[in-house]
Structure 1
């Protein structure tokens, strides 16, 4: 029998000591002004004093000057600022005026940036998205989608004819890909473009209601042209004299008169109506009835039709032409991933600032404490803040790789960007969507006020998970690419940069876990970037190996489609695991490359929280394969909580380093100072 069982008073004293120790954490977990904090050993262990200026300078991209011009312009034009309450019709007109003013008054030319300096274009997109997400999306439709399709899928004749008009907004346009019955499955689109050799024209036709172009931005009100994706049909050139279907191609189709703005013959447009969000964007549905366009309106970079109706292409198959066509449109995914991080920064900044400001409850007969001093609030928000930093560096890397791809057209870089943009767009936008709701809840009742932005941010951002590729479909593309690389490894093929770690994965990562390493639980080991990255990659490699084996097994009985569907959840988990590995690798690189020692130390703290929080959230996977022993799992959990506590100590500096002006934050409770005063003034006090 132990001493406490023999001596009740000894047991009571031990229990009392435990209760006292717990009460310190419950009542005062991290309040910086409370005297009890001196009793907490973790408070004295590290005393970070980050410089907001140094952090901001390191986070700042190369085009902050352009963003500053945009913010200053809209700050000087109250008539162009979006009010909290606005009708759909008014919002649409305001967005068009905002875009016209940006181009013609402020002198910002997004289309030229897109063509000459993509990283500058994405910086513009992030800034205007901060002004109004509807404006950011409308700008993307005009320049990235409509304009991008012309210069990327067309040839010199199209650039010469349309570039200036798109650039100066004389030619507002649409991107007509999605149909009522087909969105993600672009290869199954039903709209047709049949060549008429007599008149040297293509006849654009909507063969049934399922082929109506749907959700087409800029179509309902402002668009005068559309890039229409349709099946190119050549009469009498198929087997047995039948028509030949050459697959999906893009065509420039005028939809309204340039002078009168009246609909052109054969074009029918209806308004898609009020949406959950983004009501500043005029989405419409288009039906074409025997609409004729000149042969030159075929965007013919990857396939052309001669005057005598002969088809030519540098690419030998329909599938290769289709892949090349969609590959040129990958910039939209890059932009959405990058802009989504901008939205996350806004939501996190509002929430952290309010959580520092708001005081509630506290020790008996003592002042109330900041909401962010509660462990539950830290658990919600500090890993989210760490993730925001991680995504910032990952999407910066993606933009750099995209710019490199546009300059070099290197096949390896192209492959890298395609898979990475699909994965990051999916992962980041899904995370941001969930996080905005968490931020709203974390701000209590005040988070429900429209003026404090969460409802608007959530509704406007929500569709990011769907357009430019549904997130579930994009993750499947990542998983498919991983499997392809996995197979190529055994055929002696090369691996692009993002997948390089797979060279070692089948040996070191898939060997039996070291029973000694599996039990290491020291802080230095857990905060070692090598351990963290190895853990992420170990998980990805095991998922890859196991899903490859499962697919091989099920294909024998279910066929390839059935096997893929049987393993679908496994494949999605694999893709997310890989993207998390890439994000962590880029965060570690950013930490190690930071020149300022103090800033580097703060970023290392944030990076460690990102890594260990992710490991803890999937601890079951690591335990199942004995990669982490029970004692180590417990240590990871404790250290994650401790790191959240530490990050809370520098949370204000971390959000201030995003350098978001009041024009972008706008929420009264998210202001850097006098938040309550601005909030009460907003309702009339």
Structure 2
């Protein structure tokens, strides 16, 4: 088809004027403030200059701000394993060899390197989680085994027991003389802990509890440390007390008991304890997961972890809490540290993957303009779109989980009820959101590195397989997000009944009516870069979305409850509820990221963090732009400006991507991927050496 030609000078001028306006509008979307208002005739050249402009990032200062006060203790972990080559996990290793190596690694860390994580589980949780992240970077199986020993088995003794338990078991747990398990999950029950079927019946004649597995569904399953190394287990069971009525026994609810499972000298299972191996897994094969069945196993009455419920010699039950549900909630509340650790460690895994993918994308070159040199694959917009929002998210998650760790530590010190509720829900939400995001990102990083990402030596396969279960244990992610949604609805109800709101939910308390009001038709059209990069606009957008979702799901639940009942209504609205929970968690993450940017003392680091913070915010808004468009929160032209700004920020972050991943401060001997080495010139040399060249 023949193109239409202008037929007059006026038409040519009009076309030029229209083009100029379009260029000017585009420049206002994409350019930094110094370009705003630039004439159309200079806009393109100024944009080219801006594209070449690059932030100066002081990697050392940024790293210092990121890693904080526990940088030295993490470096101690790295240095120890770097000096002990026989303790480094090889690329190819059998399940049984990996399990034994993992145990030697743990023993070496504690007894040879003198790093004693158990000392910090209660007294300095932030230091404990810093060690856990570093250990997981060495080998994720080792990180999980350490978590089972100190956080789950040891943590249950400290948090659910009393002084007599601490005095008896602390030293043995600390030096790994008492390796132990955490036996909560059953073959038929995982997330629904109150439904577990294992029973512990008190025998007043012998002053003992008798632990029984009543059926195959009650076999304790997936119990870390059980298959090979565990000598003790914290067993969760229904506490049954004998009565003088026709029932014979009274169910006092789920309690925790210390049950010895192996002979301390021979390592053989004790009488009545059957131990089986859960076998080869998709990942984490350095962890010896096993199954436990108990057949009339007798334990002393003192082995009841009795902080929230106790049985006297005469069989009388006492508790500081009035009901089974409150005791159960208090018990699980004390075990929330596992979720905190998983969320924090998952960010550590994401850092490694992003480092490898970004460095390789800067190194690898292919294609390019005709008759010109090849360009790095990170110069391609598609690669930037894959990796730069991920890099921004990694920073966002780092600050959000660091805040969670600090809040958890404060909760352990003060036992403040408001903080307890805050940590419970925030840990559930961040664990679910971060581990799901990391799992998807690991596959994206593998694909972004092409065929070389498929080589086992470059780690994406092992990272992906080992991390995958993070989405399931310590609470299935879908179940945890429902807890977040349920808590939001509770807060929403209390808001309109005049109640108070806890710290994390401040924006609901302070501005709920504002966020539920009709969008301002003027601000809905604002599309300047200063506006879009304003933290207030970004937070308002996130909070508005969450508030709308919360209001609409509350209305839907009320409507469906009339015909379906509360359970049926919840199930009918489940996808809506999950979206609400994710929206709220994204809001919290952004708020903590903005706080971290403002608090950064180094000007250059603050500018770099502001850039990736803006990308995190714009990327999330653009990913859900349909929601904002549907309620006219964002006008069409503003939506286009958000899209363009997101692409531009991806490009700008690409320019400092090397410095941003270097600031994670993970040595090559920790990332251990030839294609992800810090010195690009060494990458192919080391990689080919693995193949024998």
TM-score normalised by the chain length of structure 1: 0.95
Q: Distance in 2 between matches of 1:353 and 1:241?
A: 67
Q: Report how far residue 525 of structure 1 moved.
A: 0.1
Alignment of 1:111-130 (within 5 A): 111-130=118-137
How far residue 492 of structure 1 moved from its aligned partner, in angstroms, is 2.1
Unaligned residue ranges in structure 1 (runs of 5+): 22-36
Which residue matches 1:391?
Answer: 397
Task: After TM superposition, give the deviation of residue 571 of structure 1 in Å.
Answer: 0.3
SS in 1 for 2:239: strand
Residue 38 (structure 1) shift:
9.6
Q: Aligned to 1:391, what secondary structure does the other structure show? A: helix
**Offset of residue 260 of structure 1:** 1.0
2:315 to 309, 314, 318: 309
Mapped to 1, the partners of 2:8 and 2:647 lie a distance apart of 35
The whole-number CA distance in structure 2 between the counterparts of 1:429 and 1:3 is 55
Report what 1:63 is aligned to: 70
Matched, 1:195 2:202: yes
**Aligned residue runs from structure 1 range 482-631, under 5 A:** 482-631=488-637
User: Is the Cα contact below 8 Å between 1:337 and 1:425 reproduced in 2?
Assistant: yes
Deviation track 1:173-222 (CA, whole Å, cap 9, x = no partner) reads 00000000000000000000000010000000000000000000000000
More deviation in 467-476 or 501-510?
501-510
1:80 to 81, 87, 90: 87
The structure 1 residue matched to 2:216, chosen from 197, 200, 209, is 209
2:179 is the alignment partner of 1:172: yes
List 4+ stretches of structure 1 deviating above 6 A. Answer: 7-11
Partner of 2:361: 355
- Which residue of the partner structure matches residue 475 of structure 1? 481
- 1:5 Cα deviation after fit: 5.4
Between the two proteins, the alignment pairs up a number of residues equal to 663
Post-superposition CA distance 1:294-349 (Å, at most 9, x none): 00000000000111111110100000000000000000000000000000000000
Corresponding position of 1:4: 5
1:675 aligned partner: 683
Match for residue 98 of structure 1?
Answer: 105
Q: Report the 3-state secondary structure (helix = DSSP H, G, I; strand = E; otherwise coil) of the residue aligned with 2:643.
A: helix
Question: Is 2:685 the partner of 1:684?
Answer: no
Measured in 1, the distance between the counterparts of 2:512 and 2:226 equals 51
Contact 1:4 1:10 in 2 (8 A): no
Written as runs of structure 1 = structure 2, the 5 A alignment for 1:16-95 is: 41-44=47-50, 46-95=53-102
SS in 2 for 1:193: strand
Q: Is 2:524–2:638's contact at 8 Å kept on the other side of the alignment?
A: yes
Instruction: Extract unaligned runs of 5+ from structure 2.
Output: 24-42
Alpha carbons 1:204, 1:290 under 8 Å: kept: yes
Q: Is the 8 Å Cα contact of residues 3 and 10 (structure 1) preserved in structure 2? A: no
CA distance in 1, matches of 2:370, 2:46: 19
Q: 2:54–2:656: 8 Å Cα contact kept in structure 1?
A: no
CA distance in 2, matches of 1:250, 1:80: 35
Distance 2:359 2:116 in 1: 34
Structure 1 residue 444 displacement after superposition: 0.2
Q: Which moved more, 1:177-186 or 1:110-119?
A: 110-119
Report the Cα offset of residue 615 of structure 1.
0.1
**How do residues 256-267 of structure 1 correspond to structure 2 at under 5 angstroms?**
256-267=262-273
Show the 5 A alignment for 1:421-436. 421-436=427-442
Does 1:184 find its partner at 2:191? yes
Segment of structure 1 superposing worse, 633-642 or 483-492:
483-492
Please state if 1:646 is matched with 2:649.
Answer: no
2:384 matches 1:378:
yes
Q: Which residue pairs with 2:34 in the alignment?
A: none
1:190-269 matches, cutoff 5 A: 190-236=197-243, 240-269=246-275
Give 2:301's aligned residue. 295
CA distance in 2, matches of 1:311, 1:632: 64
2:321 counterpart SS class: coil
Instruction: Report the secondary structure of 1:62's partner residue.
Output: helix
- Corresponding residue for residue 446 of structure 2: 440
The CA deviation at 1:115 is 2.6
Q: Please say if 1:272 is aligned against 2:278.
A: yes
Distance 1:367 1:586 in 2: 43
Aligned-partner SS, 1:63: helix
Aligned to 2:327: 321
In 2, distance between residues paired with 1:630 and 1:341?
35
* TM-score, structure 2 normalization: 0.94
Name the SS for the 2:69 alignment partner: coil
Shift of 1:476: 0.3
The match for 1:449 among 450, 455, 461 is 455
**Closer, same or farther: CA 505–547 of 1 in aligned 2, 3 Å:** farther
How far does residue 3 in structure 1 lie from its aligned partner after superposition? 7.1
User: Contact conserved, 1:505 with 1:538, CA < 8 A, in 2?
Assistant: no
Alpha-carbon distance, 1:129 to partner: 0.2
SS state of the match for residue 237, structure 2?
strand
1:406 lines up with 2:406 in the alignment: no
Q: Quick one: structure 1 residues 38 and 632, their matched pair in 2 at CA, closer, same or farther if it must change by over 3 Å?
A: closer
SS of residue in 2 equivalent to 1:319:
helix
Does the CA-based 8 Å contact 1:172-1:223 persist in structure 2? yes
CA contact (8 A) 2:156 2:234 kept: yes
State the alpha-carbon separation in 2 of the partners of residues 106 and 335 from structure 1: 22
Can you list the C-alpha shifts for 1:393-429, whole angstroms capped at 9, x where unaligned? Answer: 0000000000000000000111110000000000000
CA distance in 2, matches of 1:507, 1:236: 54
Question: Match of 1:300, SS?
Answer: coil
After superposition, what is the alpha-carbon deviation per residue over 1:10-63, rounded to whole angstroms, capped at 9, x for unaligned? 89x99xx99xx9xxxxxxxxxxxxxxx995715426431111111111111211
- Give distance in 1, aligned partners of 2:181 and 2:196: 17
Q: 2:156 aligns with which of 134, 149, 152?
A: 149
**SS of equivalent residue, structure 2 residue 378:** helix
Distance in 2 of aligned mates of 1:421 and 1:52: 30
